[in-house]
């Protein structure tokens, strides 16, 4: 399991009562960089600046 799925999994294990998504305090001005954009049936993508991504493997 990768680090992000593992962190999310452990987070929800620690909160069996559940957590409202709005309580995560992710401001829309930040979160919008991670939204998957695109029309239904069309190409999808995210707006995150690729220079902020660090790859640990060769693609």
Q: What is the pLDDT of residues 8-19, one digit of tens each?
A: 888 889 999 998
Does 56 map to a domain? no
Does 51 map to a domain? no
Report the domain count for the chain: 1
Does 8 map to a domain? yes
- Express each pLDDT in 24-46 by its tens digit: 777 888 888 888 899 999 999 98
Contact 27, 39 (CB under 8 A): no
Does 48 map to a domain? no
Does 7 map to a domain? yes
For the entire predicted model, the pTM comes to 0.48
From 13, 31, 10, select the one nearest 22 (Cα to Cα). 31
Note down the domain range covering 7.
3-39
């Amino acid at each position: 399991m990768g680090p992000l799925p593992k962190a999310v999994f452990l987070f929800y294990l620690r909160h069996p009562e559940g957590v409202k998504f709005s309580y995560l305090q992710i401001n829309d001005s930040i979160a919008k960089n991670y939204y998957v954009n695109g029309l239904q049936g069309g190409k999808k993508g995210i707006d995150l600046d690729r220079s902020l991504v660090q790859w640990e493997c060769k693609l």
